Amino acid sequence: MKNLFDLKGKVALVTGGNGGIGIGMAEGLAMHGASVVIWGTNEEKNARAAERLRQHGGDVRAAVIDVSDEDAVKAGVADILKEFGRLDQAIANAGISIRRKDLFDISIEDFRKMEGVNLHGVLFTLREAARHMVERAKNGDGGGSLVGIASTAAIHGAARNEHYAATKGAVVTMCRAMAVELARYKITVNSICPGWVRSEMTAGAQGWDKFNENVISRVPMGGWADGEDFSAIAVYLASPASRFHTGDTLVIDGAYTIY
């Protein structure tokens, strides 16, 4: 029987792929034979991540791309196609968070900054990848996987974080709409809602005793997730095993949101 999770010959893009969830996903893809492109805004972090991924023997590229810049995303995808000739999976993982504020203190500038990366960046990335996948399908080579990384903030009440929650809820519904529109081309589109994950974004909370006692202690699986906990889902969504799995929102949070 053919190995459903063999990704040799496939090319995957992971934005925000130089740390946290992103590098965990990228590493899973590299381990299973995919060529991997990571985008991040820190060149030094990109280089370290790329070196780590190359330990698995595959073809790895890294580029400094700000996903909130539509032209940069278009150029970045064009570079991937020029280099590899195809793109089989795009994971729009890049995201930001800014200091929590009371609802009445959230400025339009705060909202627009969050929206630029967390929502527009996802749209630009998945749309440009889809543009290529649709053209390929019209030439008889259908298929492809698009993944938007949302958050459990899209599900539960994220007090003093309405601007972040709004962008992540929008990612979920946008991916559902894309799933319906692109299904005719055999392109799957899914979103993922991670819970509390160790990363640079959550570094402050990780060392905050009160937060760990009051919030992390309520995660039924216990403790924080790591980027590596998202490796398998990236591989599954890139593989033939998920060819009929689309329009879904996968929650990976150690059962936090249902407890």
Domain with 156, as residue range(s), is 11-252
CB 166 within 8 A of CB 97: no
- Name the residue among 96, 88, 76 with its Cα closest to residue 149: 96
3-class SS letters over 178-239 = HHHHHHHHCEEEEEEEECCECCCCCHHHHCCHHHHHHCHHHCCCCCCECHHHHHHHHHHHHC
Higher pLDDT, 248 or 97: 248
Q: How many domains does the chain have?
A: 1
Higher pLDDT, 199 or 250: 250
- How many Å is the Cα radius of gyration of the chain? 18
- Provide mean pLDDT across the span 224-235: 97
**pLDDT band for position 99 (50/70/90)?**
confident
Give the model's pLDDT for residue 36: 98
Residue 20 resides in a domain: yes
- Weakest-pLDDT range from 134-138, 153-157, 236-240, 241-245: 153-157
Give the model's pLDDT for residue 122: 98
**pLDDT band for position 100 (50/70/90)?**
confident
DSSP 65: -
Residue with the two structure tokens 């504020």:
101
**pLDDT band for position 1 (50/70/90)?**
very low
Question: Which residues make beta-bridge pairs with 187?
Answer: 144
Q: How far apart are CA 154 and CA 169, in angstroms?
A: 4
Give the model's pLDDT for residue 158: 79
Residue 258 resides in a domain: no
CB 91 within 8 A of CB 234: yes
What is the set of active-site residues?
Answer: 164
How many other C-beta atoms are found inside a 10 Å radius of the C-beta of residue 185?
17
pLDDT > 70: what percent of the chain? Answer: 99
Phi/psi class of residue 146: alpha, beta or left (left: φ > 0; alpha: ψ in -120 to 50)? Answer: beta
Give the model's pLDDT for residue 143: 97
CB 153 within 8 A of CB 161: yes
Residue 101 resides in a domain: yes
pLDDT 10s digits, 172-213 = 999 999 999 999 999 999 999 999 999 888 888 888 899 899
Give the model's pLDDT for residue 200: 85
pLDDT at 135 over 80: yes
- Provide mean pLDDT across the span 162-172: 96
Q: How far apart are CA 66 and CA 116, in angstroms?
A: 10
CB 68 within 8 A of CB 115: no
CB 100 within 8 A of CB 204: no
Residue 257 resides in a domain: no
H/E segment holding residue 130: helix 121-138
Residue 2 resides in a domain: no
Give the model's pLDDT for residue 205: 86
Tell the burial category of 214 from Cβ atoms under 10 Å away from its Cβ (0-12, 13-18, 19+): exposed
Give the model's pLDDT for residue 244: 98
Give the model's pLDDT for residue 157: 87
Look up the CATH number of the domain holding residue 35: 3.40.50.720
Give the model's pLDDT for residue 159: 85
Residue 108 resides in a domain: yes
pLDDT > 90: what percent of the chain? Answer: 88
- Provide mean pLDDT across the span 157-163: 88
- Cβ density class 20-38: b for 16+ within 10 Å, e for less: bbbbbbbbbbbbbbbbbbb
